[in-house]
Structure 1
């Protein structure tokens, strides 16, 4: 891997830290101002839905423009939106932000939301840049570094956002975000990224080219199966998003839970670094499915007893495996999809796969509250399972985790026996897309424009 790739990764890390920092800080601040759980729930729902829908459009932008332009557009959009949010905050009486029904408050939230989501354009561009800058045999390791960078961004933003809201306030938090975004743009401007990435004419790219994305995916037998497998996993994995905090807080205090999550989030970094050092093996698809088998097995067992130690160990291993799963999917797409369509395919995959999360977030809570918790508190589950599994609200949530793990494990094992799995695995070994040579000479580390 070259110095240019590391420079691009550092630039993207700084942008990711800034965008995640803003959204976390705004979420904390809005709750402190309004004391409304409904407001923060709506914010989370809107964020997830927007991320899911925006992938189609952002992926098309990545294919329409060269990657440096796409990344610059991402940061410029964030800069403008953060500046507008700062102006609204500075010119509005503080009392206005304590009212959950305030139009000004929601305009402020939306500006911060879209400023953070604009960073997703950069994420899609970075995935395609791995194809351009990194030789095929090193892309899995490069994707591992990207996963570690995402973990670092999450960890740093989690810490800084709380400190910024507590010690600086939202005014200076936005000033810091604007300043950091400006620095990211200036640094990006100095990077010698190629202005023209491929030697053949790019396919015509519309603002939202869903048809082109589908055609590109259909051209690779088995690729739709991989995307829908991830979509189902995200749907089932929504149990974690909906119930993990509630379950953890049944076991320990909020202070302990907060510190524990700070430690557990190191799993993202550790997992990414392991992939960056060891790679994913000759068949990343097999690695992806083996990782899912381990993850769903953990989901079956890590809540069998009401133990914070068992939960913490299971979650740490789970989080360590996430970068491997994500890197495997990216590595597969980077090899089997033609470079001029990768932006649209990555965007399409993001939209489809992330669409499952909001659905689960809305339905898992009622399922737990109306079915599983009563089952393990006053229902038949007390007599059937209570002697060894335990009883109470926390055991109802624990049972839902176990059921989700069993379903996930069965689906993963069945998927590994499917024709789509075998076809895509074979296709990865001998892809039909033309061989694509990185624009970086490994010996000179210089950028070469392909005519």
Structure 2
């Protein structure tokens, strides 16, 4: 495989094809490039999170309906699942920076269009769902490209720390975004938040333009698009560890992330429907994620990263039960903080393992499948848990989800495929 610059006057650089193809000498300005890239993505993410929180709160406070939240989750995640597999192939065939710019720009234009409709008095729910769906398509293109670009510009031995820093920065934005969204939603309007998202997207695109990104080109005859797609599917299916990790990732997302998406509904029904309560709920979770990301960035993680993934999954189950049994609002916020603290130990470790063990020319497609897993698990979980939340209490759903998580982790650790996957990671350098 050869790597060549997007500019035609730069000679190609031969690449050995191993996952650790980049070191400090190969890209001496990697710190500058990573800093600019992460800064741009963080600014863009901040605007997207403003929209996410504002729409979720708007639907929660206006409808108090689990079915409406379930439909919003389907609209916001299912298109991403459909597009991610194609987005992964594009990330392996095209310039990843260009893909990110096009996706971010399309999301901003869609948000601007919704703002204009709302200004003209068009407030139908289907319009919000349509906007969520289009934004989800953009995420399906952007996510694999971003995940594959980070190891492309970062030395492999720095990946865990860079991912930890990235997670901590994004968590800090998650801390700032709900507070800013709450202030804007209460004092201004939903439309004002949409305009802020457009501005932050423009800033993010401008910063990304400053980062030189090479386009990966495989040596020899270039396979067709669908040949790449099929090869990616075969790779994921036959790679024991990747397959095992994606299945565990999917089930954890289904059992933990989907029910936790209903925590604002639980707060509104049980503790009160004031905006500050919803804001503190998100802030508590975000503070925990900042702390968890900082620990990972400083510590660098344990060598047995599979054990860290399994252990954090068990912690998710404990905390889900704790959330469901909480009768005091501040105790509930405390469990949300701990849940956020545990997330980087699962997500950052999982992403780093994939970045380290998957060949660079396949990372786009693999992270496309990660996007599919994340995007499909959420709407499936919400299709189940959303309507149930209108029949039974959210508290009961959280407790049941936590108990099921214990069973899933035990099975994942004990089945032959799980033992083989964990043994393979321990044996390989």
**Residue in structure 2 matching 1:329, options 350, 375, 378:** 350
**Residue in structure 1 matching 2:250, options 231, 247, 253:** 231
Partner of 1:357: 378
Give the root-mean-square deviation of aligned CA atoms. 3.2
Q: 1: CA distance between counterparts of 2:389 and 2:110?
A: 38
Could you tell me which runs of 5 or more consecutive residues in structure 2 were left unpaired when the two chains were aligned: 1-29
Q: Tell me the secondary structure at the aligned position of residue 240 of structure 2.
A: coil
- Cα distance 1:290–1:197, how it changes in 2: closer, same or farther (>3 A)? same
- Return 184-193 or 167-176, whichever deviates more: 167-176
Q: Tell me the secondary structure at the aligned position of residue 4 of structure 1.
A: helix
Q: Tell me the secondary structure at the aligned position of residue 280 of structure 1.
A: coil
Could you tell me which runs of 5 or more consecutive residues in structure 1 were left unpaired when the two chains were aligned: 101-105, 374-392, 433-451
Whether the 8 Å contact between 1:303 and 1:401 is mirrored in structure 2 is: yes
- For the pair 1:12 / 2:41, whether they are aligned, the reply is yes
Equivalent positions of 1:101-112 (< 5 A) are: 106-107=126-127, 110-111=130-131
Partner of 1:280: 301
- Return 10-19 or 178-187, whichever deviates more: 178-187
Cα deviation, 1:83-107, whole Å, max 9, x if unaligned, reads: 44345455x3x2x32x55xxxxx44
The alpha-carbon deviation at position 151 of structure 1 amounts to 1.9
Structure whose CA Rg is larger: 1
Q: 2: CA distance between counterparts of 1:22 and 1:234?
A: 22
- Cα distance 1:89–1:279, how it changes in 2: closer, same or farther (>3 A)? same
Partner of 1:381: none
- Return 215-224 or 305-314, whichever deviates more: 305-314
Q: Tell me the secondary structure at the aligned position of residue 5 of structure 1.
A: helix
Partner of 1:22: 51
Cα deviation, 1:392-416, whole Å, max 9, x if unaligned, reads: x6xxx54443333222113212322
Whether the 8 Å contact between 1:12 and 1:122 is mirrored in structure 2 is: no
- Cα distance 1:141–1:420, how it changes in 2: closer, same or farther (>3 A)? farther
- For the pair 1:211 / 2:208, whether they are aligned, the reply is no
Aligned length: 397
The alpha-carbon deviation at position 8 of structure 1 amounts to 0.7
Partner of 1:318: 339
Q: 2: CA distance between counterparts of 1:202 and 1:346?
A: 24
Equivalent positions of 1:28-43 (< 5 A) are: 28=57, 37=65, 41-43=70-72
Partner of 1:57: 86
Equivalent positions of 1:81-92 (< 5 A) are: 81-89=110-118, 92=120
Q: 2: CA distance between counterparts of 1:175 and 1:227?
A: 36
- For the pair 1:411 / 2:408, whether they are aligned, the reply is yes
- For the pair 1:141 / 2:161, whether they are aligned, the reply is yes
Whether the 8 Å contact between 2:389 and 2:397 is mirrored in structure 1 is: yes
The alpha-carbon deviation at position 249 of structure 1 amounts to 4.3
Partner of 2:239: 220
TM-score, normalised to structure 1's length? 0.77
Cα deviation, 1:409-448, whole Å, max 9, x if unaligned, reads: 132123223333333334335669xxxxxxxxxxxxxxxx
The alpha-carbon deviation at position 342 of structure 1 amounts to 0.8
Cα deviation, 1:175-202, whole Å, max 9, x if unaligned, reads: 4333332222222112223x23467469
Equivalent positions of 1:338-349 (< 5 A) are: 338-349=359-370
Equivalent positions of 1:97-176 (< 5 A) are: 97=123, 99-100=124-125, 106-107=126-127, 110-111=130-131, 113-115=133-135, 117-176=137-196
- Cα distance 1:87–1:271, how it changes in 2: closer, same or farther (>3 A)? same
- Return 35-44 or 138-147, whichever deviates more: 35-44
Partner of 2:105: 76
Cα deviation, 1:351-371, whole Å, max 9, x if unaligned, reads: 13431222221222454665x
Cα deviation, 1:145-174, whole Å, max 9, x if unaligned, reads: 222233233333323333334444455444
- Cα distance 1:313–1:11, how it changes in 2: closer, same or farther (>3 A)? same
Q: 2: CA distance between counterparts of 1:299 and 1:422?
A: 26
Whether the 8 Å contact between 1:332 and 1:428 is mirrored in structure 2 is: no
Whether the 8 Å contact between 2:106 and 2:138 is mirrored in structure 1 is: yes
Q: 2: CA distance between counterparts of 1:269 and 1:203?
A: 42
Q: 1: CA distance between counterparts of 2:295 and 2:302?
A: 12
- Cα distance 1:322–1:309, how it changes in 2: closer, same or farther (>3 A)? same
- For the pair 1:297 / 2:294, whether they are aligned, the reply is no
TM-score, normalised to structure 2's length? 0.80
Whether the 8 Å contact between 1:30 and 1:40 is mirrored in structure 2 is: yes
Q: 2: CA distance between counterparts of 1:328 and 1:242?
A: 22
The alpha-carbon deviation at position 9 of structure 1 amounts to 0.7
Whether the 8 Å contact between 2:165 and 2:294 is mirrored in structure 1 is: yes
